């Protein structure tokens, strides 16, 4: 049974890449269907490309737009690869409060605007067993 929207629903798996269009081509060859849209998210210092993989979930390719981007730091340390999981939540502020009360550590004190004008925050990988997790609220939801 699908979870209610109050629960976490997989929204995307994000992959850090060195070359956005080369990676779009590779995943397109694998059979993914990318939107033509490319978004620069200034706040996160990234350029993104999205492909639907089912009704809810996407693959997000992330290219750093600056040397001090979290994505560039990740690639410098690990090389390209899976960077984070993102779960869609109904209310990011109340989800963050709930998770803080359960001991999770967040990167930002308050959520920020992310790709697609979503309101987002990230759970530190040190409090999730090594997986960076984004929670995201769609605009006007």
Residues forming the site for ligand CMX (CB under 6 A): 14, 41, 44, 46, 62, 70-71, 73-74, 77, 83-84, 107, 114-115, 122, 124-125, 130-132
**Which of 78/141 has CB closer to ligand CMX?**
78
CA proximity to 20, closest of 39, 48, 1, 54: 48
User: What torsion do the CA atoms of 124, 126, 130, 135 make, to the nearest 10 degrees?
Assistant: -20
Structure tokens at 2: 């699908």
**Which of 4/37 has CB closer to ligand CMX?**
37
Instruction: Name the minimum Å distance from CB 117 to ligand CMX.
Output: 11
**Which of 2/77 has CB closer to ligand CMX?**
77
**Which of 41/119 has CB closer to ligand CMX?**
41
The residue whose two tokens read 């629903």 is 9
Instruction: Name the minimum Å distance from CB 30 to ligand CMX.
Output: 21
Instruction: Name the minimum Å distance from CB 1 to ligand CMX.
Output: 29
**Which of 29/42 has CB closer to ligand CMX?**
42
Instruction: Name the minimum Å distance from CB 115 to ligand CMX.
Output: 5
Other C-beta atoms closer than 10 Å to the C-beta of 29 total 8
- What are the residues whose beta carbons fall under 8 Å from the beta carbon of 30, sequence distance 6 or more? none
Other C-beta atoms closer than 10 Å to the C-beta of 86 total 25
Q: Distance between CA 32 and CA 6 in Å, rounded?
A: 28
Instruction: Name the minimum Å distance from CB 17 to ligand CMX.
Output: 12
């Amino acid at each position: 049974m699908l979870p209610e929207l109050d629960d976490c629903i997989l929204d995307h798996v994000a992959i850090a890449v060195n070359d956005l269009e080369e990676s779009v081509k590779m995943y397109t060859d694998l059979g993914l269907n990318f939107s033509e849209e490319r978004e620069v998210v200034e706040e996160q210092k990234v350029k993104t490309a999205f492909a639907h993989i089912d009704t809810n979930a996407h693959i997000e390719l992330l290219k750093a737009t600056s040397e001090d981007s979290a994505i560039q730091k990740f690639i410098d340390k690990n090389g390209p690869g899976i960077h984070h999981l993102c779960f869609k939540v109904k209310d990011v502020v109340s989800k963050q409060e709930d998770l803080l009360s359960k001991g999770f550590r967040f990167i930002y004190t308050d959520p920020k605007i992310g790709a697609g004008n979503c309101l987002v925050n990230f759970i530190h990988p040190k409090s999730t067993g090594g997986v960076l997790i984004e929670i995201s609220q769609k605009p006007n939801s």
